[in-house]
Structure formats: C-alpha cells, structure tokens
Amino acid sequence: MSKPTIDDLIRAILLHVPFDGWSATAIANGAADIGIEPAEAALMFPNGAIDAVEAFTDLADREMAAGLDRMEQRPERISVIIREAILCRLDWATPHREAVNAALKMLANPQNAPVAAKTLYRTVDRIWRLTGDRAVDFSFYTKRASLAGVYSAVLLYWIANPSADRAKIEKFLDQRLRDVAMIPKVTAPARKAAEMGMKMAGRILGRMPMRRSG
C-alpha cells in the first residue's frame, strides 16, 4: 500500500471539520483514520490548521481543473471557461460546505491575511490559466483583480445561501460576470484600481514564492 499523501490526509480531515473545525483535533483524527502518526502529520502541516486550510484550497483548485477536463464538450470561449471552472469548483465543494465556511472564517483572521491573499491569487490565476491565457502585460493583474472580485462574491453568496439551487447560483454568477465583462476596458478608475492591485500583488509575491500552474 502506498504511503498516504497530503491530499489523502485532507480528505480524511474533511470528515472531522464539521465537528472539530480546522483544528489540531481534526488533523489528529484524520491522521489516525488513515494510519498517519501524529509526528508525521505535524511535518505535513508545520504551521498547524492554517497549513491544512491552504492544502484544502489547493486540492479544491486541482479538483476544479479536473472537473473542467471531464466535461464532454470543453468550452472554448474564455468567459464560458471561467464560468464553468467556478461552477466545477463549487460542485466539488458542495459536500464540504461547512469546511469551506470554516476555512473562510480562519482566513479572515488578520494574522492569516498572507495565506488568504496567496490562496485567492492562486485560485484566480489557475482559472485564468485554464482559459489558455498567458498574458504577462498590464492586463495580467486587471484580469486577476476582476476575477478575484467575481469569485469572492459568488463564493460568499454560495456560503450564505445553502438552500439556493444551481439555477440561482448560475444566475448570480452570470450577473457578476456581466458586471465586469471579464475582459474589462482599462478605464481611468479601472487602471487606478489595477495599479493598486499590482502594488499589493508585488508585495505579496515579494514575500512568498508563488508556484505557477501549467
């Protein structure tokens, strides 16, 4: 039998998060479920629960990409790929809604702001790269800033409305996409906002290595 991976541990932890939150207890219980010693689990998540949350968001990003790949007819238009990628991510997360909610609360803690920024950037960057976009000019940041706003709004709506059916989620997402047109014209206000985003991103990227997805 192969050695359990971080993904295996995250999947095991998810069964305990509804009861224990993202905590040392959830990590320990998940590790015990799949035969990982406490010391080994500690090495996987040296910073504790916040590392587990980051690993959870990374797994969700990869499951999002896998869901898009499984579509019988993969969309070709950029706006449709973005739309379907977000929906794939929410579909995968639906059984883990409580874990997502708990993760968002942890990421909202000021001391976890760097991880919150890193995970949001990584998600929107991966979505853009799923479209085949490889631009590195000024639009690189405006696109990601726009998508970060869309994705964050949709995620919070999804969390706040657990009884909303898929049609309502899609309607809300479609409206947010229309609001920003996803390939925005760089008006003066947009340019100013993007410049601020570029400065912020520069500070974030300067402090932490960002893994570029393929």
Residue extents of the structural domains in the chain: 76-207
Backbone angles phi, psi at 113, to 5 degrees: -55, -40
According to the model, what pLDDT value does residue 42 have? 93
According to the model, what pLDDT value does residue 181 have? 67
According to the model, what pLDDT value does residue 61 have? 97
**Alpha-carbon span 53 to 43, nearest angstrom:** 15
**Alpha-carbon span 193 to 203, nearest angstrom:** 16
According to the model, what pLDDT value does residue 140 have? 81
According to the model, what pLDDT value does residue 92 have? 97
- Average pLDDT for consecutive 10-residue bins of the chain (214 residues)? 91 97 97 94 96 98 95 87 96 96 94 94 94 76 88 94 93 90 48 46 41 38
According to the model, what pLDDT value does residue 185 have? 46
According to the model, what pLDDT value does residue 143 have? 86
